[in-house]
Amino acid sequence: MQNTSLDRLRTWLTADDPRLAIGTAMGVAVLIGLLTGALFGFLGPVLALGAVGGLVVGLMMLRSIRWGLFALIGLICLLPYGAIPVDIGFRPTFIDAVLLALFGVWFVRIVTGAQHTFEASKLGAPIFAFLLWALITFIAGLSHAPLNATVLRRFAEVLLAVSLFFTTVNQVRHIKSLEQITAITILSGGLAGFLGVLFYVLPGPITVSILSKLAIFNYPAGAGILRFVEDDPSQPMRAIATSIDPNALGGLLVIVTVVAVVQLFAHQPVLPRRLLTPLAGLMGLSLILTFSRGSMAGVAAALGLVGILRYRKLILLLALVGILLLLLPQTQAYVVRFVEGVRGEDLATQMRFGDYKDAVTLISRYPVWGVGFSGTPDIDLYLGVSMLYLIIAEQTGLVGLLIFLIILVSYFAVTYRAWRDIPQGHVVEGHLLAYQAALAGALVGGIFDHFFFNINFVHLVALFWLVMGLGVAATQIRAEPTTWETETSHQTKRQLAGTSALP
């Protein structure tokens, strides 16, 4: 019946009688206009555009999991806390919906036989162990802290975010897919950098007005959106983009900036260098404007590593940026802030040292299991510290931290070995270096921040494990022969065949 109706509509639109064709086209246009007008009138422009966009993305995700990864990266960079404006006891975020869709489509592909294999990789065993141990410590932690719906939902989101590693490794199997995801990451990160700079230079009331329109998606509204150094309006303002928290924006920019800069120097970049240059510049400028010193240290360490391993010109670039930061009058406040942090003189750094001390006390009391994700058993302790490694140890104990470190060592061993084995200029080289360095930068930044394993910042947890999955996927793709290698192999075979035919 449906095919008959479509065939009839097609016949009318291409009819020999021009009046019938024009009349049908006008009728279809009027119907679409009425439906669109009703949608915008009932939901409003913001919700209507979101509904249409969500429908389009959903349909595309059903065709290919790659579109789900594209959507996830875009949301992580541009709308990380956006929630669907529908209350089902809670308001699920767009990232929740995409993660569930990704795993749902993958499950259907396995059940229907569209995918016959499951690739765990050499990191599979420790990551499964980490997931299982996190679940055990979560359940054990309920003995001293009551469970609530918010904690349960966010913990489930963290498990999905970590499991994203397996989705990535199993779905990104070809160089084209890897190049597309890398390009989407850079474009989305560049747009996030642009928004960070834009909202920084716009007058405060205009920035507040624009960002407050996102309240329909459960974003904060009002003058409190703007953030300042040490929360003091007399101090310099900090860039936030749509990440709201400047340190969270800094964590995001560590990864996307490193990927963009490494691709800029790669022999075969995924985007033209004339586009990569301004995108990387916007990310770097936005990162500076966040005043996130840990994130800046992460980027500097990551790019310095790449400069030592392969692209020596990166060392010159880092030196040039450092000289400009030291000499330009506009950056002196940033330099002073950075020096204060190194010396431990500012309030934020002193508070962070206090957090470290309290975290060590908590871990010493509960070294094996940690205290879980819901709360602490002792009234004189609290859960939360601005360091990735200490917060993992707080929540999952030293056992959980050890498993996490094993995962990291395994990741860098696998990716470094793969990078070492490929010829310089190989099509995968830029991806391997980018995702190695991006994760290294995140780990350096993790010394000063906790966003990559924090149930309140699931988007950054997802980004961390997505990057790890992309790095491992690149090691598998590098085993596939490139076009050049295939052609060379064919030529060799023809030469051998000709040689064997000689008397």
**Structure token pair of residue 131:** 């997931």
Q: In angstroms, rounded to a whole number, what is the distance separating the alpha carbons of residues 368 and 149? A: 26
pLDDT given at position 147: 84
pLDDT given at position 106: 82
The string of pLDDT tens digits covering residues 433-458 is: 999 999 999 999 999 888 999 999 99
Helix residue ranges, H only, 14-142: 18-43, 45-63, 65-78, 94-111, 124-141
Question: What sign does the dihedral 223-224-225-227 (CA atoms) show?
Answer: positive
Question: What sign does the dihedral 134-140-146-149 (CA atoms) show?
Answer: positive
Q: Other C-beta atoms within 10 Å of 4: how many? A: 8
**Would you give the end-to-end CA distance of the chain in angstroms?**
69
Asked if 441 and 385 touch (Cβ cutoff 8 Å), the reply is: no
What mean pLDDT, rounded, does the chain reach? 84
Closest CA to 299 of 149, 471, 442: 442
Residue 336 clears pLDDT 60, i.e. is over it: yes
**Predicted confidence band of residue 329 (pLDDT cuts 50, 70, 90):** confident
Question: What sign does the dihedral 167-173-174-179 (CA atoms) show?
Answer: positive
Is 93 in a helix, a strand, or coil?
A: strand
Higher pLDDT among residues 396 and 342, named by residue: 396
The string of pLDDT tens digits covering residues 32-90 is: 555 555 545 555 555 545 555 555 555 565 567 788 899 999 999 999 999 888 777 77
DSSP character at residue 83: B
Q: Is 236 left (phi over 0), alpha (psi -120 to 50) or beta?
A: beta
Q: Other C-beta atoms within 10 Å of 41: how many? A: 10
- Distances, alpha carbon 128 to alpha carbons 40, 131, 166, 301, in Å: 45, 5, 10, 29
SS3 annotation, 425-481: CCCCHHHHHHHHHHHHHHHHHCCCCCHHHCCCCHHHHHHHHHHHHHHHHHHHHCCCC
pLDDT given at position 39: 47
Residue 399 clears pLDDT 60, i.e. is over it: yes
